[in-house]
Amino acid sequence: MYTITMPLTLVGLGLATIAYLGYLLTSKDILGKLGWGFSLIGLVALTALEVDFIVTFKRLPLTSLYEMSLSLAWGIVLAYVITHLFVKTYAVGLFVVPIGFIIALYNASQGRDDVTRYVVPALQSYWLQMHVIVAIIAYSAFTVSAGLGIMYFLTRESYLATSRKHATALAHRLGLPLLLKVVSPEIDKSGAMTLSRTLYEPETEPSERPARRVRQPAGRPSPTADELEALSDEDIAVAANEQVATAYDDIIGATKKRHPKARIFGLSMQRPSRLGFDALIGATKEQRNSGKLAGAAMPRRTTLIRWNYRAVAIGFVFQTMLLITGAIWAQYAWGTWWGWDPKEIWALITWFIYAFFLHARAVRGWAGNRLALLAIISFGTVMFTWLGVNWLVNLIKIESLHAY
């Protein structure tokens, strides 16, 4: 069975990678569907490999680098399949499936001639099995997070160009030339303060009627000068989107409750705040919710960051369980909870880095480029913990009980 399922795994994941790359370059749905189908074939083949190993050796494939690579490749592809069902874009596959393919390729290069049914007593503990299983789940989730982070960066320029074009068209239609200062790359960030004051502060000129203050979006106070200075062009464009949509809601007064059939520019204005300025200039739903990368439709960048955060949150829970089960297994095997082994130290470093990721997102409000970059860097520590420590231990001749 191994002689069939291993080649099928490599062919499935390899063709999925090629198909996803073609989809990214041509945006042809047929290539995206082929990539999805080949990914499912690869997952089924990997599952068959796992089952065949268990039947052949009467144990789970969890005790060596060869066995761990097989299980991790299976976990990464499964994590991608689950992510695809929620994010609903074929493009994610190009940034996750190749990682699973490379790991499966390494596994195939090792062969399993040296694998035996029996292992040393220290590796027969159920705590070890739990430790490795939660590690596979955590590392798979972190792989998805890194893939989404890469997608976020690669869609950046095209997203900004689309936002600027839509915002510029809206400014002309609504007579808001100040908006051009915000979204035009040659104008500095001070234009955002002018727009903010125009939208949110009362008029200062005398008037027979009191000036109407445009309502502030919930949870969105007007930015200070220091905050504006720290904003990127992308942040300003997104802020302009939200502000103008809210201002337009008040100016037109076309809420669903008051004017359920109100229309402007030929578009239904039942929920203008939600649609934003993209809808006002006739953008389709697909244009509103996606960017473009080499012609392929991409998820909205806020969607990428949201699922990036969720993937890290899931991975962090299992990374925590990894440390706990590892300590219990170490006590069972070697009589100590913590031995400052290089692998243990780097597992703890990885935990602290992802803890900072969650803190930066939930408490400090990090988003956008910083969070995507942190997801990619954090994944580097995961790979170093899994493989780099082994190389480091052999290079400088450090003793390690965890080195493969």
Q: CA-to-CA distance for 100 and 109, rounded, in angstroms? A: 14
| Per-residue pLDDT in tens (0 to 9) along the chain, 404 residues | 888 999 999 999 999 999 999 998 888 889 999 999 999 999 999 999 999 999 999 899 988 889 999 999 999 999 999 999 988 888 889 999 999 999 999 999 988 878 888 888 777 888 999 999 999 999 999 999 999 999 888 775 444 555 555 555 555 554 444 444 444 444 344 444 444 444 334 434 444 444 444 444 444 455 555 555 555 555 555 555 555 555 444 444 444 444 444 443 343 434 333 334 444 334 444 444 445 554 455 667 788 888 999 999 999 999 999 999 999 998 888 888 888 888 899 999 999 999 999 999 999 888 888 899 999 999 999 999 998 888 888 777 777 666 65
Helix ranges restricted to H, 253-284 = 272-280
Kindly state whether residues 115 and 129 are assigned to the same domain: no
User: Which residue range(s) make up the domain with 45?
Assistant: 1-119
User: Where among 238, 261, 290 does a domain terminate?
Assistant: 290
Kindly state whether residues 73 and 169 are assigned to the same domain: no
SS3 401: coil
**pTM, full prediction:** 0.69
Torsion angles phi and psi, residue 293, rounded to 5: -135, 110
User: Where among 231, 257, 290 does a domain terminate?
Assistant: 290
Kindly state whether residues 281 and 184 are assigned to the same domain: yes
Tokens of 141: 């989730």
In this structure, is the dihedral angle defined by the CA atoms of residues 340, 344, 349 and 354, taken in order, positive or negative?
Answer: negative
Position 305 scores a pLDDT of 87
Element of type H or E holding 117: none
Beta bridge partners of 293: 296
Position 102 scores a pLDDT of 96
Kindly state whether residues 249 and 314 are assigned to the same domain: no
Kindly state whether residues 113 and 17 are assigned to the same domain: yes
CA dist 175 → 167, 267, 282, 351 (Å): 12, 18, 17, 51
CA-angle at 248, arms to 244 and 254, nearest 5° = 150
Position 212 scores a pLDDT of 41
C-alpha closest to that of 276 among 304, 301, 239: 239
Helix axes 301-334, 368-383, angle to 10 degrees: 30
Tell how far CA 178 is from the center of its chain.
34
Residue with tokens 């009191």: 210
C-alpha closest to that of 145 among 383, 17, 305, 321: 305
User: Where among 261, 290, 319 does a domain terminate?
Assistant: 290
Kindly state whether residues 302 and 270 are assigned to the same domain: no
Tokens of 393: 């231990």
Kindly state whether residues 200 and 279 are assigned to the same domain: yes
Kindly state whether residues 217 and 322 are assigned to the same domain: no
How many structural domains comprise the chain? 3
Residue with tokens 């925590």: 320
Q: Which residues of 147-174 are buried (b: 16+ CB within 10 A; e: fewer)?
A: bbbbbbebbbeebbebbbebbebbbeeb
Kindly state whether residues 130 and 177 are assigned to the same domain: no
Kindly state whether residues 285 and 353 are assigned to the same domain: no
C-alpha closest to that of 191 among 218, 164, 158, 173: 164
Kindly state whether residues 285 and 169 are assigned to the same domain: yes
Tell how far CA 173 is from the center of its chain.
35
Kindly state whether residues 283 and 163 are assigned to the same domain: yes
